[in-house]
């Protein structure tokens, strides 16, 4: 089959990456999608088992920090574009092991940018390096205000500092070498295939097993939650219509205090599991706060809406219900992930809190 372009997607076996791969595979059967993923603890090929036989899909297990391997992939596939999602993504792990985040998020991004520069050889027509980043680069908000694309960077965790560094590298390649780039900075995603180290899937899993629900500090921190498929849709739009050298914020206009979100999950789960109302709330346990815990994130995504016509599609209650249903119907997926290494991580992270 003739493909009109070949897109390398890094981190395609992770949470958001697998949704982006699935979305693009189905919508554009004439694009060849090469999923480049090292399969760290967060990468899982089961996330793509419903689409991995499609003729336009290829998987390559590769570490983005391995420059020789990345060069070989560029030679082999002659990518027209890269959508870069591979990253160490969990803030708590970045507090335990910051250098792993510098390695993948900073050095790995640099290696990919260099490969684009080398293999595209200054001939950038119809080429694109799309960097998927986070709202955490902007730092922490007080009770009011929003992050816009002009908000100065002020990262405060090793994770967000490594993502901010990677954003700067991307812009440096744009200004210095004219590499065609685009960056998007998104708020907290939720949905299916979310690794249960992150708040929503961790709370769902713990409610199910009647385990304590660890809420950091007083649960007053606020996050802006976006349905992961809305993020994939935004990436599609920005990939095709975004202006080179520009940044776009993506957010859900959907702010929740952690404690209110955990209570809502308890009530949804009690009703779905046939437990008496209020039972799971009794599992809520306030634990030692995250070091340097950012108080509030809230995204102003009006540029993306105004210029490219994107809007979030789903109401939060509906999205959470769908998410809970997915976890309840995919026990095997959860069990594979939460055996072995996950238990070690969980004990290290929560035992002494």
Taking CB under 6 A as the rule, does residue 158 contact ligand DAU? no
Q: Provide the minimum distance between the beta carbon of 250 and ligand DAU in the complex, in angstroms, as a whole number.
A: 10
Q: Provide the minimum distance between the beta carbon of 231 and ligand NAD in the complex, in angstroms, as a whole number.
A: 7
Q: Provide the minimum distance between the beta carbon of 97 and ligand DAU in the complex, in angstroms, as a whole number.
A: 15
In angstroms, the CA 229 to CA 315 distance is 13
Is residue 8 within 8 Å of residue 77, measured between CB atoms? yes
Interface residues toward ligand NAD, by CB under 6 A: 10-11, 13-17, 37-40, 42-43, 63-65, 85-89, 104, 108, 132, 134, 163, 186, 188-189, 195
Q: Could you say which residues in the range 71-100 bind ligand DAU, by CB under 6 A?
A: 89-91
Which CB atom, from 57 or from 195, has the smaller least distance to ligand NAD?
A: 195
- State the catalytic residue, choosing from 37, 63, 88, 135: 135
How far are the Cα atoms of 5, 79, 85, 239 from residue 30, in angstroms, in the given order? 8, 14, 22, 16
In angstroms, the CA 336 to CA 195 distance is 11
In angstroms, the CA 292 to CA 159 distance is 12
Q: DSSP labels for 16-60?
A: HHHHHHHHHHHH-TTEEEEEEE---TT--GGGGTTTTTSTTEEEE
Q: What residues pair up with 296 in beta bridges, in sequence order?
A: 141, 222
Which CB atom, from 85 or from 116, has the smaller least distance to ligand DAU?
A: 85
Q: Provide the minimum distance between the beta carbon of 99 and ligand NAD in the complex, in angstroms, as a whole number.
A: 13
User: Which of the choices ligand NAD, ligand DAU, none does residue 199 contact, using the CB cut-off of 5 to 8 A by kind?
Assistant: ligand DAU
Which CB atom, from 16 or from 179, has the smaller least distance to ligand NAD?
A: 16
Element (H, E) at 185: strand 181-186
Q: Provide the minimum distance between the beta carbon of 238 and ligand NAD in the complex, in angstroms, as a whole number.
A: 13
User: Which of the choices ligand DAU, ligand NAD, none does residue 337 contact, using the CB cut-off of 5 to 8 A by kind?
Assistant: none
Select the span of 62-70, 130-138, 270-278, 300-308 touching ligand DAU (CB under 6 A): 130-138
- State the catalytic residue, choosing from 130, 138, 159, 216: 159
Strands 128-134 and 181-186: parallel
Q: Could you say which of 120, 174, 216, 316 contacts ligand DAU (CB under 6 A)?
A: 216
Give catalytic status of residue 119 as yes or no: no
Give me 151's structure tokens.
């908000």
- State the catalytic residue, choosing from 37, 136, 167, 255: 136
Q: Which of 126, 121, 120, 160 is nearest to 140 (CA)?
A: 160
In angstroms, the CA 267 to CA 140 distance is 29
How far are the Cα atoms of 115, 143, 171, 180 from residue 127, in angstroms, in the given order? 13, 41, 16, 7
Q: Could you say which of 47, 80, 109, 134 contacts ligand DAU (CB under 6 A)?
A: 134
Give me 294's structure tokens.
């950012």
Q: Which residues are catalytic?
A: 135-136, 159
Interacting residues with ligand DAU (CB under 6 A): 89-91, 134-136, 187-188, 198-199, 202, 214-216, 221, 223, 258, 290, 297
């Amino acid at each position: 089959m003739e493909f009109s372009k070949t897109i390398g997607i890094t981190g395609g076996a992770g949470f958001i990456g697998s949704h982006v791969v699935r979305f693009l595979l189905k919508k554009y059967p004439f694009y060849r999608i090469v999923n480049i993923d090292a399969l760290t603890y967060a990468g899982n090929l089961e996330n793509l088992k419903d689409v991995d036989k499609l003729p336009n899909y290829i998987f390559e297990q590769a570490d983005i920090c391995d420059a020789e391997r990345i060069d070989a992939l560029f030679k082999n596939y002659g990518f027209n574009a890269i959508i870069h999602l591979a990253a160490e993504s969990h803030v708590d792990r970045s507090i335990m092991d910051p250098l792993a985040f510098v390695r993948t998020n900073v050095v790995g991004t640099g290696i990919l940018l260099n490969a684009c520069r080398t293999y595209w050889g200054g001939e950038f027509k119809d080429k694109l390096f799309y960097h998927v980043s986070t709202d955490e680069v902007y730092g922490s908000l007080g009770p009011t205000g929003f992050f816009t694309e002009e908000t100065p960077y002020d990262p405060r965790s090793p994770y967000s500092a490594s993502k901010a560094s990677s954003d700067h590298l991307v812009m440096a390649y744009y200004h210095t070498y004219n590499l065609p780039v685009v960056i998007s900075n998104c708020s907290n995603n939720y949905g299916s295939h979310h690794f249960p180290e992150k708040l929503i899937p961790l709370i769902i899993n713990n409610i199910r097993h009647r385990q304590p629900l660890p809420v950091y500090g007083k649960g007053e921190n606020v996050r802006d939650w976006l349905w992961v498929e809305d993020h994939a849709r935004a990436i599609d739009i920005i990939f095709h219509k975004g202006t080179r050298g520009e940044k776009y914020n993506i957010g859900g206009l959907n702010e929740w205090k952690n404690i209110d979100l955990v209570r809502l999950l308890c009530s949804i789960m009690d009703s779905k599991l046939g437990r008496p109302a209020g039972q799971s709330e009794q599992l809520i346990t306030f634990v030692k706060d995250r070091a340097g815990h950012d108080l509030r994130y809230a995204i102003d995504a009006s540029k993306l809406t105004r210029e490219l016509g994107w809007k979030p599609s789903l109401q939060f209650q509906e999205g959470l219900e769908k998410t809970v249903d997915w976890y309840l119907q995919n026990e095997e997926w959860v069990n594979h992930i939460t055996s072995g290494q996950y238990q070690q991580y969980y004990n290290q992270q929560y035992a002494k809190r």
